Amino acid sequence: MTATLTPTARLYDPRLRAMTVGSVALVSLLAFEALAVGTAMPTVARALDGLGLYALAFGGSFAAGVLAMVLSGIWCDARGPRAPMWGGVGLFVVGLLVAGSADAMGTLVVGRAVQGFGSGLLSVALYVVVGQAYPEELRRRVFAAFAAAWVVPSLVGPAVAGLIVEHLGWRWVFLAVPVVALPAVLLVESGLRTLDRPKPAGPPAGAAARIGWAAGAGVSAALLHHGGQQRGASAVILVAVSLVGLGVCAPRLLPAGFLRAARGLPTVVGLRGLAAAAFAGAEVVIPLMLSRQRGFSPTAAGLVLTVGALSWAAGSWTQGRLPAPRSSATLPRAGLACVAVGTATVALAVWPTVPVAVGVAGWAVAGLGMGLAYPSLSVLTLALSAPGEQGRNSSSLQLADSLFTATVLALTGAVLAAGTAPGPAGYAGTLAVAVACALLGALLAGRVVPTRGRPA
């Protein structure tokens, strides 16, 4: 597909304004729902007497999303992003309606799976929209706007969801979102009409096998999520089986040369996974560490996470307005180095003699690093993709993000649940894993350049 839009220096140019607003609104809805459901689910499980299916309500949605990302990539490359975008929004809304009207936990699990499938279709389609509708010099700003679209939900989403659950009922956490989704997708549609229509093409060779591997990876990730919440022998068995499943399936969904960090796209995708795993692995440990080691209230510990979210937005805004660096490795390397240094600084707060302010400052540095690295890796993925490969490569990028994060979170949960009460060594150990992921990414960042000595 060839974009008919001419290059422009303004993200909110009249030709792009509606598409930009609609895309950012859709990302915000996906972010709000992802964060709000976690707040509402304890109440949902009690109301529907479904505690036994609690983990499946999250794992099923995640597994469906993994499969949908692969399908969306194939679909976008064959027919363009318009149909996957509408299909994603449609299934996302249907899943919300099913979950919001459920009278049994099993029905809610089905609704969550449909919702996750729609989210996976939509998230990849939006990346392809950016690649095909926006000139290259604006893509860093678009992805910075996507990052900012996660900030407001991360700040107010759990609180708003709590108020909705308390005053309106848990069902409205699901039922209120579809009202906004349709106008948002219509705004994006208005921009897609200005693009050339692609010639319909069949699925690429190996598409059926890729879908099968995606199903295996999704099931393995869901089992890993469940196993990380267990204790004893069952946890060890589930985690081990799941890791074997991911080890077999995931490499077949990612670019060739991914495991050896081949230059270009394989390393770009790997860095995205390492960055996501590092930040998420630290993020789940910090509130627990602050509350148990330093006596913080849940609100105070949550405010520390807010510092990271705000600095992430600041980093995204900054990278979107910096001149293009001479090397495409500069921003990913700087971002991952900040994540490594910042997370290592947070780990110092495990010891009572270190002021908590040191850890808070470290988390701000880590968030800044994510803001520098994330959008730049998204832009590199599109820059290294031929027009007929943007869907596949965008899905690979988001799969790495999801699968790396799921693996680190499950292993972190298993480590923290191994004892009766985690101590300083346990917190420091889990944070050390996050630091190692970010440091490895910083060391490999130079390999995002496809040809040695030349920028992408």
The Cα–Cα gap between 243 and 232 comes to 17
Whether 47 contacts 172, CB under 8 Å: no
Select from 173, 154, 152 the least CA-distant residue to 162. 173
DSSP for 238-292, please give it: HHHHHHHHHHHHGGGTS-TTTTTT-TTHHHHHHHHHHHHHHHHHHHHHHHHHHHH
Residue 118, class by beta-carbon neighbours within 10 Å (0-12 exposed, 13-18 middle, 19+ buried)? buried
Q: Taking Cα atoms as reference points, which of 278, 455, 306, 260 lies closest to residue 373? A: 278
pLDDT by 10s per residue, the chain, length 456: 444 444 444 656 667 778 888 888 888 888 888 777 777 777 888 888 877 777 677 777 888 888 899 998 888 888 888 889 889 999 999 999 998 888 888 899 899 889 989 999 999 999 888 888 888 888 888 888 888 888 777 777 677 777 787 778 888 888 888 888 888 888 888 777 766 666 666 666 677 888 888 888 888 887 877 766 666 677 778 778 888 888 888 888 888 888 888 888 999 999 999 999 999 888 878 877 887 777 777 667 777 778 888 898 888 888 877 777 888 888 999 999 999 999 999 988 888 888 888 988 999 999 999 999 988 998 889 888 887 788 888 888 888 888 888 888 777 766 666 655 566 777 788 888 899 999 999 999 988 888 654 444
Is the entire prediction scored with pTM above 0.95?
A: no
Under 8 Å between Cβ of 395 and 372: no
Cβ(390)–Cβ(139) below 8 Å? no
Amino acid symbol at 26: L
CB hemisphere CA count around 28 (13 angstroms) = 20
C-beta separation of 64 from 113 below 8 A: yes
